[in-house]
Structure 1
Amino acid sequence: MAKRDNEAQPVLEDETEPEEENKAKRICKLVCLIVFHIVFIAYFIWCTVVYIRYDRKEHCHFNTTKDDSNSTQEVEYTPPILCLFNWCMGYGFLVVLFVLFYIAYFYYKVFKPYVGQKVYDNSIEPAIDKWMEFSRTRIMSIVMILFVIVVMGAIILFESRHELLKVRGVAAPIFFIFVGFVFSKHRRAIPWRIVVHGLFLQFMLGIVVIRWDRGREVFACAGDKAAIFFSYAREGALFVYGETIVNDFVFAFAILAGIFFFSVITSCLFYLGVIQFFLGVFGWLLQAMIGTTVCESVNAAANIFLSMSESPLLIRPYISRLTRSELHTICVSGYATVAGTVLGAYISFGASAAHLITASVMGAPGSLAFGKLFYPETEESQTKADNIELEASEDETLLDAAASGAANAMMIVLGIVSNIIAFISMIAFFNAVVEWSFELAGVDEVTFIGLLSKAFMPLVFLMGVPWYDCQKIGLVVAEKTLINEFVGYMDLGKMIMGGEIDARSAAIATFALCGFANPGSLGILIAALSVMAPTRRAEITEVAFLAFFAGSIVSFTSASWAGIFVQETEVNSISEKLIDLYLKNSK
C-alpha cells in the first residue's frame, strides 16, 4: 500500500505543477497590471499639476479692470486648465488618450463582462434582429433608398449653392453605378439597399471628415501625428544609408524606409491583439450599417490599416468557405484602400496626410457597395457572426513579432521596387514604340502614356476637375492605374510644386490615386489569396480581375465626393503645405 502511495505521488505533483504555474502567471499578470495603472495614473496626475502650476504662467492671461464707482480692481479669471488647451498636442492630447483608454478599459473589463453582455443578449441583439428583418422588407428598402437619395441630393445642392460647377462631381458616381450595373454578374440579384447604404456611408464620411470643422480637425490631427510618426523612420535610414543617399531623396532608400518602421509597429500591435480589437469594432459597425457579411466587413475595416495581402490573414481559416461574391468584395477592398505602411511614402511626395487617411477610411464602405454591385450574392454565406474568430498572431513573443514585421517589410519593399522598375520600363518601351509609329505618320510628340492621359480626361472631368487641368490629372490617374500610385504621387507633387494645377484639382487627384488598383497589385493579391485557399485559385483569379476595375471606381468615387466637399480656403491651405513639403524634400 505504501509502495502504491509512493508511486502515485509523482503523478499528483505533475498534475499540480501546471496549476501552480498558471496561478503564478495570473498573479504576476495582476501585479504588472496594478503597477501599470498606478504608474499611468500617477504620471497623469503629475502632468496635470505641472500644467496647472507652470503652463498658466506662460500661456494664461489675467485681465485687470477698474471699477470707477468704488475704485476697486476686479480680476477676470480664466481656469488654467482651459488656457490654450489643444486636444491635438501636449497636455490636451494626453487627456484624450487617458480618457479614451479608461473608457475602453472600464467597458471591456467591467461593464461588458458583468452587465453589457446580458443587456446586449436580452435587449439590443433582439432589437437589431427585428430592425434588420423589418428594414429588409421590400417596401421599407424602397423607402430607405429614396430617403438616402433625397438627403444626398439636398446636401449636394446646399454645398454647391455658391459654386454650381461642383454639381458636376455627382456625374462620376452616377456613371460608375451605371457601369457597375451594366457589367454586374447578376443584375437581377443586385442588393440595392447595400449598394446605396455603402455609398451613403462613404458620402457621410466625406462630410464628417472634410466638411465638418470638428471632423476635419480630428483627421488633420491624425494626419499630423501620422506625418510625425513616419518621420522617425528617417533616423534609421540615416544610420544605415548615410546622409547623402537620404538627403538626395533616393526613392528606394529615403522613401521606403518608413515601410520597415511601420511594419514592425503593426506586427507588434497585431501580436498584442490591438489591431484585432479595432477591426472587430469597425467590422461590426460596417456590417450593422451596410448589411454585408462578417468576413467582408472585417476585411474592409482591416484594409484601412493593413495591406491587401495582410488583411485576409485575419480571416484566413474562412477564405476557403467564402462565396464568390465574398471573395470578390475582399479583392475590391484590397484595391480600394492603401496600407498604413506606404502612407509615409505618399506623404513624403507631398500628399496631404489628412486626405490620405480620409480617402482610405472612405474606401472601406465604398468597396463594400461596389463589390456587391459588380458581383451580387447568389449563394448562402457559410460564415456567420457567431462562428467567426479573428486570427491571432503566430509569433511567440513580442520580439519575434517585431522581427517578423521587419522581414515582411523587406518583401513589401522589394515588391514595390521590382514593380516600379518593371512597369516604368514597360511604359518607356511602349512610349518609344508609339512615338516611333506616329513619327512615321508625320505626327510628333505622341506617346503611349499621353494617349492614355487623354483617354482619362473625360473621367476626371466628371469627377469635378476643371477642364484645363484634366489632361494633367488624367496623366497621373493613368500612371496610377497602369504603373502604380507611387509614380502618380511623384508626378502630382511635381505638378503642385510647379503650380501647374490648381488646389482643388490636387485635392481630387490625391483621393483618386489613393488605392492599390494597379497591375502589380493584381498579381500580388491573387498570389496571396491563392496561398491561403489553394483550392479556390481559379475562382480567385476570376473575381480578382473584375474587382480591379471596381476598386479603381471606389477611389474615383471618393475623389468625386471630395471635390464637392473641399472648400476653397482649405484647398489653398493644402496647396501651400504640399508645396512647402515638396520643396523641403527636394533640397
Structure 2
Amino acid sequence: MSEFDSSLAIVENGAPKTKRKHTKIVNLMIKLAVFVLINAHFIWASYYFINNTSDTLDSTTCSGYGLWIIVFIFIYFLTLYSLLLKPYILPLIDTKKLAPLFKPINRIPHWPLVSRGVVLAAILAFIVYDYRDDFTRLMPLTGLVIFFIIGFLFSPAKKQIPWPTVISGLIAQFVLGLLMIRWETGRNIFSCVGDRVDTFLHYAVNASAFVYSEELVLTKAIFAFNALAAIYLMNFCINILYYYGIMQSIVLELGKILQFVLGTPICESVNSAANIFLGMSESPFLLKPYLDHLTDSEIHSIMTSGFASVSGTVLAAYISFGASPAHLVTSCVMSAPAALCYSKLMYPETEEVTVTQENIKTMKMKFGSVLDAATKGANEASQVVIGIIANLISFISFVYFINGVLGWLGTLVGFIAEDEIWSLELILGKILIPLSYTMGVEWADCEKVAQLIGMKTILNEFIAFQKMKTMDLSDKSRIIATYSICGFANPGSIGTMLSTLTIFMPRKKHSVTKLVFRAFIGGSFACFMTACIAGLLTV
C-alpha cells in the first residue's frame, strides 16, 4: 500500500470516529453555518429588492421577497422557541400555581360546558346575523344537527359523552373555517399554501417526464406516470424529516395543541395531528410502543381520524383531477378536530387512560443515515403506487360490472333511454340527495354531489375525484363536494386499517375488529361535518 493510500485510509477511518467523539461540536458548527448562510442570503435579497426592483411586499407575499420575509421570521421564531422558550421560559409557567386564580370561575356549575356553549352560541349568532338577508344559506346547520343526533344515537355510553370536548371540537372547526375559508386574508394565505404545495408536487412530474418521456407524462398526462409520481417525492422528503426528528416534533407539538384545546388524551391527539400529513397506516407508527395500552375509546378515535383524513402523499392525484389545492389543505387541517369531536360523541371514554403526556415520547425511526431514510421512502412509495393502481383497476372494473348488470336489468323493464339507464351512480345519486342538500349544496347539483359521496363511500375517493372532474358544478357545490369526499372512509380502507392495527396491537385485536365499522361511520360523518361548515362559511 502506498503512502497516499495509507493516509487516505487513516482519514476515512478516523473521520467517523472524530465525528462521534465531537458530535455536539460538529452539529453546532453545521447549524451555525446554515444560520449564517440564511442571514447572509436574507440581507443580500433585501438589498436587491430595495435597490433593483419595483415590486411591493404585497405583490410578492406568495412567491417572492415577501414570502422569504415570512419564512425568515418563521425560522427565527422556531429558533427562539427551541433555544429559549421551550427549555427555559415555558417551564417557569407553573399551572398548579395559577390554578387558584381560576377557582372562583370553576365553582360555577358546569363551567367547562357553559363557557364553551357561550362561545359556540356567539359564533352561530354571528353567522345567523351575517346571513340575515338570505336564511337559506343556513341549511348546513340542519346537516350539522342531524349528524350530531345520529352520533348521539350511535353512542353506547350516552351519559359519559364529554360534551365540553365535543363542543370544543365543533368550535375549533368553526374557528378554522372562519380563518381559512371566510376570512379573505386567511383564504389568500391557504390559497398561497395550496399553490406552493402544487408547485412542489409538480417537480415530481418533471422528474417523471425524464424517466417515462414527456409524451406520456406531460402531453398525454397518463395518470400512473403523471399524478402518482408525486408520491415518490413526498415519501422521500417525509422520511428525511423523520430521520432528523423534525416530523415527530411537529406532530407532537400539534398533538399537544389539540389536547389543550379539546381535552382529548395525548395519544389520539398526536395521531389526529399526524393524520394531517400521513395516512392511516403510517400515523399509528408514531405511537407503536403505546398502542397495546390504549383504551377502546382511544382505539376508536385513532381509527376515526384515519378514516376522516387523507394522506399528504396522495394530494397530487386529487389535484390532477381538478380539486383545489387550497381546499384540500384546509380539509386536512379541519378534519383533525372534526374526527376527535365526532369520535368522542360516538364512543366516549369509559376506561382509565394509562398513556399520558408525561410518559409518552416520540418514536425514533431506525434509519442508518439520511440517504438510507430517503431511499427507503422512495422504495416504500412504490408499494403505495402499486396499491393505488391495483385498487383503481379492481374497483373501477367492478363498477363497470355492476353498472352492466344494473343496466341489463333496467332494459328488461323498459329503462332504455340514455339518461334512464340504471347504474350505481344513478341509484346512489337518488338515495343521497337529502344528504347533499342538508350540507348546503345547491338543489340543481344535489344529485351530482350525492353520486360523488356514494362513490367515495362505497368505492374510494380517487374514483369520486375523477368523476367530479367531469361534472358541471357551481363553485360552491364543488367546494362542498371536495370536503365531503376528502377522506379515506371506504371499504378498501377498512381492510387496510384492520391489517395495520392488528399487527401493531395484537393484544387489542378484538377491540379493533369490534370498533372498525363504527369508526368507518364516524370518519364519514366527520367529513360531512367539515363539508357542512365549509358550505356554511363559503361566500
TM over 0.5: yes
Aligned to 1:218: 189
* Equivalence map 1:331-370=2 (5 Å): 331-370=303-342
* Aligned mates of 1:437, 1:118 — CA distance in 2: 70
Structure 1 residues 106, 454: CA separation in 2 closer, same or farther (over 3 Å shift)?
same
Aligned to 2:216: 245
1:38 partnered with 2:59: no
* Equivalence map 1:460-475=2 (5 Å): 460-475=436-451
* Aligned mates of 1:145, 1:160 — CA distance in 2: 23
1:501 partnered with 2:499: no
Per the TM alignment, residue 174 of structure 1 is displaced from its structure 2 partner at its CA by: 0.5
Write the deviation string for residues 308-356 of structure 1: whole angstroms up to 9, x where unpaired.
1111111111111000110000011111111110111111111111101
Structure 1 residues 119, 460: CA separation in 2 closer, same or farther (over 3 Å shift)?
same
Equivalent residue for 2:468, pick from 467, 492, 505: 492
Per the TM alignment, residue 289 of structure 1 is displaced from its structure 2 partner at its CA by: 0.6
Structure 1 residues 137, 193: CA separation in 2 closer, same or farther (over 3 Å shift)?
farther
* Equivalence map 1:70-149=2 (5 Å): 84=58, 86-113=60-87, 115-120=88-93, 123-124=94-95, 126-127=97-98, 139-149=110-120
SS for the counterpart of 1:334 is helix
Given residue 412 of structure 2, which amino acid in structure 1 is its aligned partner?
L
* Aligned mates of 1:94, 1:396 — CA distance in 2: 33
Aligned to 2:431: 455
Aligned to 2:121: 150
Given residue 476 of structure 1, which amino acid in structure 2 is its aligned partner?
L
Per the TM alignment, residue 478 of structure 1 is displaced from its structure 2 partner at its CA by: 1.0
* Aligned mates of 1:201, 1:130 — CA distance in 2: 25
* Equivalence map 1:274-423=2 (5 Å): 274-423=246-395
Structure 1 residues 83, 512: CA separation in 2 closer, same or farther (over 3 Å shift)?
closer
1:481 partnered with 2:479: no
Moved more, 193-202 or 421-430: 421-430
Write the deviation string for residues 359-390 of structure 1: whole angstroms up to 9, x where unpaired.
11110000000011111110001111100011
SS for the counterpart of 2:526 is helix
Given residue 67 of structure 2, which amino acid in structure 1 is its aligned partner?
F
Per the TM alignment, residue 260 of structure 1 is displaced from its structure 2 partner at its CA by: 0.9
Structure 1 residues 129, 393: CA separation in 2 closer, same or farther (over 3 Å shift)?
farther
Aligned to 1:228: 199
* Aligned mates of 1:260, 1:370 — CA distance in 2: 33
Whether contact under 8 Å (1:160, 1:564) holds in the other structure is: no
Whether contact under 8 Å (2:280, 2:307) holds in the other structure is: yes
Per the TM alignment, residue 83 of structure 1 is displaced from its structure 2 partner at its CA by: 5.5
Whether contact under 8 Å (2:19, 2:26) holds in the other structure is: no
Per the TM alignment, residue 186 of structure 1 is displaced from its structure 2 partner at its CA by: 1.5
Write the deviation string for residues 86-120 of structure 1: whole angstroms up to 9, x where unpaired.
3222111111111111121122113432x314313
Whether contact under 8 Å (1:148, 1:196) holds in the other structure is: no
Equivalent residue for 1:271, pick from 243, 266, 279: 243
Write the deviation string for residues 164-191 of structure 1: whole angstroms up to 9, x where unpaired.
2111111111100000111112222111
Structure 1 residues 564, 437: CA separation in 2 closer, same or farther (over 3 Å shift)?
same
* Aligned mates of 1:532, 1:129 — CA distance in 2: 42
Per the TM alignment, residue 160 of structure 1 is displaced from its structure 2 partner at its CA by: 1.9
1:432 partnered with 2:432: no
Q: Which runs of 5+ in 1 are unaligned?
A: 1-17, 60-81, 568-587
Structure 1 residues 461, 111: CA separation in 2 closer, same or farther (over 3 Å shift)?
closer
Aligned to 2:510: 538
Given residue 326 of structure 1, which amino acid in structure 2 is its aligned partner?
E
Given residue 383 of structure 1, which amino acid in structure 2 is its aligned partner?
V
Whether contact under 8 Å (1:435, 1:448) holds in the other structure is: no
* Aligned mates of 1:86, 1:135 — CA distance in 2: 48
Given residue 29 of structure 2, which amino acid in structure 1 is its aligned partner?
V
Aligned to 1:72: none
The CA RMSD measured in Å over matched residues stands at: 2.2
* Equivalence map 1:15-26=2 (5 Å): 22-26=20-24
Structure 1 residues 83, 197: CA separation in 2 closer, same or farther (over 3 Å shift)?
closer
* Aligned mates of 2:258, 2:475 — CA distance in 1: 32
State the TM-score, normalizing by the size of structure 2.
0.92
Aligned to 2:48: 50
Whether contact under 8 Å (2:318, 2:462) holds in the other structure is: yes
* Aligned mates of 1:83, 1:205 — CA distance in 2: 26
Write the deviation string for residues 141-166 of structure 1: whole angstroms up to 9, x where unpaired.
34124313412321220332233211
Structure 1 residues 84, 303: CA separation in 2 closer, same or farther (over 3 Å shift)?
closer
Equivalent residue for 2:167, pick from 189, 196, 212: 196
Per the TM alignment, residue 476 of structure 1 is displaced from its structure 2 partner at its CA by: 1.0
Write the deviation string for residues 237-285 of structure 1: whole angstroms up to 9, x where unpaired.
1112112221212222211111111111111111111111211221111
Given residue 357 of structure 2, which amino acid in structure 1 is its aligned partner?
A
* Aligned mates of 1:105, 1:196 — CA distance in 2: 35
* Aligned mates of 1:309, 1:158 — CA distance in 2: 43
Whether contact under 8 Å (2:180, 2:330) holds in the other structure is: yes
Whether contact under 8 Å (2:277, 2:312) holds in the other structure is: yes
* Aligned mates of 2:17, 2:109 — CA distance in 1: 57
* Aligned mates of 1:200, 1:128 — CA distance in 2: 24
1:522 partnered with 2:520: no
* Aligned mates of 1:129, 1:153 — CA distance in 2: 32
* Aligned mates of 1:100, 1:149 — CA distance in 2: 31
State the TM-score, normalizing by the size of structure 1.
0.85
Structure 1 residues 110, 23: CA separation in 2 closer, same or farther (over 3 Å shift)?
farther
* Aligned mates of 2:482, 2:284 — CA distance in 1: 26
* Aligned mates of 1:152, 1:21 — CA distance in 2: 56
Aligned to 1:167: 138
Aligned to 1:68: none
* Count of residues paired in the alignment: 520
Per the TM alignment, residue 391 of structure 1 is displaced from its structure 2 partner at its CA by: 1.1
Structure 1 residues 84, 328: CA separation in 2 closer, same or farther (over 3 Å shift)?
closer
SS for the counterpart of 1:232 is helix
Aligned to 2:4: none
Per the TM alignment, residue 521 of structure 1 is displaced from its structure 2 partner at its CA by: 1.1
Per the TM alignment, residue 556 of structure 1 is displaced from its structure 2 partner at its CA by: 0.9
Structure 1 or 2, whichever has the larger Rg, is 1
SS for the counterpart of 2:67 is helix
* Aligned mates of 1:237, 1:286 — CA distance in 2: 38
Structure 1 residues 222, 125: CA separation in 2 closer, same or farther (over 3 Å shift)?
farther
Structure 1 residues 133, 511: CA separation in 2 closer, same or farther (over 3 Å shift)?
farther
